[in-house]
Structure 1
Amino acid sequence: MEIQQYMSPKERDELEKATTELDEFVANFLASETEPKPERVIAWADIEIEDDLPTAVKFDTSFQTACDVLDEYANRKSVKESLAEARKVEAKATDINCFDLKPEFNNPALNQHFKIEKPTITAVIDWLRLEIIVSKAYKFKRPTQPYNDIKDFLKAEGINENPYVKQASSCKFEIDFHDVKNGKEYAETLKKLRDEYEPISLKVATLEVSIDFWNLSTGAFLLALQKSVKITELFENTDLRIYNDDGGKVMPRTATNAMKHVHDGKTIGIGHKNKGSVYIRIYFKTMDKGLDLPKDQHRTRIEINVRDETLASMGNDADNLKHLVNESFKLLKFTRLADTATVKQTAEYRSNVELFGKEISVISKSRNRRKHPDHIETHTEFNKLVSKAVSNFLRGF
């Protein structure tokens, strides 16, 4: 006896509808396995509509063809005009007044959603060169190669695993020390040298100190530092240069052209590396001792190298390092465009690349003799921030 389940008219209609939908789904699925799939494309019209460009680039388009299309897109008049405007805006930011480095910067509303890396400033001794004069009575193990004896000593004492030692004369040697971090470490090094060699003289022959700007690596800021740095008569040659390992050239006068070299990773040089007793370098520090630094250690650096008569005039005895560091940093001061600058002076400052902070003898509007034109003044706030970084560093000496 066959038993049939009773279905209401409403239930029967719902069952028939579900069966029809299932049949359609299966038919479409089977058809998708046999019919060609539609091509996936990225439409250039979503970016900009131009009749002279292809309407789409397919995923299977050859690499060379895609490059040709991108090149053609980049050469569009509208894109070139936008790029030119962007460069003009960036060039205007080469005014040091555009950068606010106040450490109290805070925005609780943004801090809820973003980690804001605040610009910070630190000071360091990049390197120094000690000049040591050893008594003629000292007996080197290798009399014909005494500099190698000194290298071996530095390695054995754990002072430097890869030391640079140069023999200037029979008893005079130059030893380079990098990254001197604190006075205790430095004093221990001097004690070891004195205990071993009982030197007649121990002086600092060259000192290079640096200011690092963290979380502020923009080409505009690099040029802003160059424009604002105060240049005194201590600089033998104030030609402004841009260079890398392949050589150097005179810095382009316009900010937009100079920016291209800065973005290529080149270094700005002020003064002469070999002549005179002071010179400055400004660059993005991305490497150390020939090795790439982690991204979070990249920073903008300005170095001032002091030597010869300028360093000697400070009293360059090796025990006087703290004073030498402080005095060397004092040579690194900054200027700014005054608020009273005219529209023309402001335009010139922002569009040109010059040593606007170079000291000259001028008569001001008030008939007083000044070292800068009326529209260039000392950047008091910026100098205070740098001085604070130096003071923090020198606490370790």
Structure 2
Amino acid sequence: MIEHLPFHIYTVGKTEQVTNELEVIVAVLPSKAVRQDMEITQYLGPREQRETDEATAELGAFVADFMSDDQADSAVTWDDIEIKAELPATVVQGMPFRTACDVLDEYSNRASIKQSIIEARKIEVQATDINCFDSKPEFNSPHMNKYFKIKKPRITAVIDWLRLEILISEGYKFKRPTQPYNDIKDFLKAKSINDNPYVKQTGGRTFELDLHDVSTGNDYTDILNKLRAEYEPRSIKVVTLEVSLDFWNVSASSFLLALQKSLRVDKRFENTDLRAYNDDKGSFLPTNSVTAMKRVHDGHTIGIGHKHNGDLYVRTYYKVKDRGQALPRDQYRTRIEINVRGETLVSMGNDADNLKHLTNKSFKFLRFTHLKDDATPEQIAEYRKFVGLFGKEISVISKSRNKRPHPDHIESYAKLNKVVSTAVSNLIRNL
């Protein structure tokens, strides 16, 4: 029976699994030529022949209808295609043709199939609730472990990249005075600081350069020492810092929406329009969760804030590549990253030696909210159905007449924020 098959979670757009099941069934049915041989051997009478032909036509019509394009966005669960108890669980070679047709009738005639599609979409919407992330350490199910290994969700914090501004001393002589940025590129390559460096001259002796994969303080300090020994700079500042949280072993599509819906967005975000884009071709994110889910399924990134203007910019996406190269499947993860720059970064004290402090402060912009337990059914329905920045800070007066940053039914997600803080602490410890 179906319950002995591997556990299956359904999502909108996964009809090919059911289609493949049908293809297997059709493949083991006798072909038309074989059926004719069977008819001759068994001496079918006119009435039996007519019934067989009618059943064959019904089967063909059903398969054609099920595989039609207009079913492309449908999905069902295994429970919804379960065979009646009195019928065989599977179709095998040599099974009477009428029995095989009865089995297929069960697929086509179950009244719950259309309802299951609706329920599947409801569950997709519910999955955009941030509470779908189980951060409890005792994430385990002995029953489910019979069928597959359950990997516990976890969070890691990383410094994605940073941009340094270096003001080189007046006494330093460049080999190519008209192209000093190329001299710096050559230096970065020769010292194994960056094999493909970005260097930009922003003033007479002021340059910007990018550093990637800063994972330890020792490596970072070594880079600063090399720059100082070569250029005797008057100052080195961090002018852009991008930090990220990676969520491992979490379903990608629905959780992306859950993260951005729950992100605490303070008033320093210059623009809070949600955008979904591929290859920097931006578009507004639909407000309906199911419609927005389709964008995410297609690999779109969700952006909050201006990419180039303003001090804060957030991106949420499913990471399957790194620097244009495909990652191994076990390294796929959901990522939310924040780019901090401008006066916000300066106000933190953006000297290059202050990286640990800057990193810690930047991660504080990645905090999350969720629905209160006592939210009304109407508030729950709105939260799950629509896409929006429910964690956006606003000045409201609560029922108790106190000033608070969110509506009464939204609160800080303490449990998740604690797990995030632990991940950040693990990173900071090595800086």
Q: Residue 71 of structure 1 aligns with which residue?
A: 68
Secondary structure of the residue aligned to 1:203 is strand
Instruction: Give the drift of 1:385.
Output: 0.4
Instruction: Give the drift of 1:80.
Output: 5.9
Q: Residue 126 of structure 2 aligns with which residue?
A: 92
Secondary structure of the residue aligned to 1:274 is coil
Instruction: Give the drift of 1:108.
Output: 4.4
The within-5 A match list for 1:53-72 is: 54=60, 70-71=67-68
Q: 1:202 aligns with which of 236, 239, 248?
A: 236
Quote the Cα distance in structure 2 between the aligned partners of 1:73 and 1:151. Answer: 55
Q: Residue 266 of structure 2 aligns with which residue?
A: 232
Moved more, 238-247 or 387-396: 238-247
Quote the Cα distance in structure 1 between the aligned partners of 2:407 and 2:114. Answer: 37
Aligned positions, number: 345
| Corresponding letter in the other structure for 2:227 | L
Q: Structure 1 pair 80/132, CA: closer, same or farther in 2 (3 Å)?
A: farther
Q: 1:382 aligns with which of 392, 397, 416?
A: 416
Secondary structure of the residue aligned to 1:272 is coil
Instruction: Give the drift of 1:110.
Output: 4.4
Q: 2:209 aligns with which of 170, 175, 198?
A: 175
Aligned alpha-carbon RMSD (Å): 2.4
Q: Structure 1 pair 80/176, CA: closer, same or farther in 2 (3 Å)?
A: farther
Q: 1:339 aligns with which of 364, 373, 382?
A: 373
Secondary structure of the residue aligned to 2:171 is coil
Q: Residue 362 of structure 2 aligns with which residue?
A: 328
Instruction: Give the drift of 1:114.
Output: 3.0
Q: Structure 1 pair 345/171, CA: closer, same or farther in 2 (3 Å)?
A: same
Quote the Cα distance in structure 2 between the aligned partners of 1:282 and 1:129. Answer: 21
Assess if the C-alpha contact under 8 Å between 1:277 and 1:310 holds in 2.
yes
Instruction: Give the drift of 1:51.
Output: 7.4
**Higher Cα radius of gyration:** 1
Quote the Cα distance in structure 1 between the aligned partners of 2:339 and 2:298. Answer: 24
Q: Residue 254 of structure 2 aligns with which residue?
A: 220
Deviations 1:34-55 (A, max 9, x none): xx75589xxxxxxxx9977625
Assess if the C-alpha contact under 8 Å between 2:135 and 2:415 holds in 1.
no
> TM-score normalised to the size of structure 1?
0.82
Assess if the C-alpha contact under 8 Å between 1:165 and 1:173 holds in 2.
yes
> TM-score normalised to the size of structure 2?
0.76
| Corresponding letter in the other structure for 1:54 | G
| Corresponding letter in the other structure for 1:235 | F
Secondary structure of the residue aligned to 2:392 is coil
| Corresponding letter in the other structure for 2:331 | Q
**Structure 2 unaligned spans of 5+:** 1-32, 38-54, 75-107
| Corresponding letter in the other structure for 1:70 | M
| Corresponding letter in the other structure for 1:99 | F
Q: Residue 181 of structure 2 aligns with which residue?
A: 147
Q: 2:401 aligns with which of 345, 355, 367?
A: 367
Quote the Cα distance in structure 1 between the aligned partners of 2:210 and 2:144. Answer: 46
Deviations 1:110-141 (A, max 9, x none): 44653221111000000000000101221000
Q: 2:148 aligns with which of 107, 110, 114?
A: 114
Q: 2:220 aligns with which of 186, 191, 195?
A: 186
Assess if the C-alpha contact under 8 Å between 2:241 and 2:339 holds in 1.
yes
Between the aligned residues of both structures, percent identity stands at: 63
Instruction: Give the drift of 1:74.
Output: 2.3
Instruction: Give the drift of 1:70.
Output: 1.6
Q: 2:323 aligns with which of 261, 270, 289?
A: 289
Deviations 1:7-40 (A, max 9, x none): xxxxxxxxxxxxxxxxxxxxxxxxxxxxx75589
Q: Structure 1 pair 73/258, CA: closer, same or farther in 2 (3 Å)?
A: closer
Secondary structure of the residue aligned to 1:180 is coil
Secondary structure of the residue aligned to 2:315 is strand
Q: Residue 302 of structure 2 aligns with which residue?
A: 268
Quote the Cα distance in structure 1 between the aligned partners of 2:405 and 2:280. Answer: 36
Assess if the C-alpha contact under 8 Å between 2:273 and 2:305 holds in 1.
yes
Q: Residue 392 of structure 1 aligns with which residue?
A: 426
Quote the Cα distance in structure 2 between the aligned partners of 1:215 and 1:125. Answer: 20
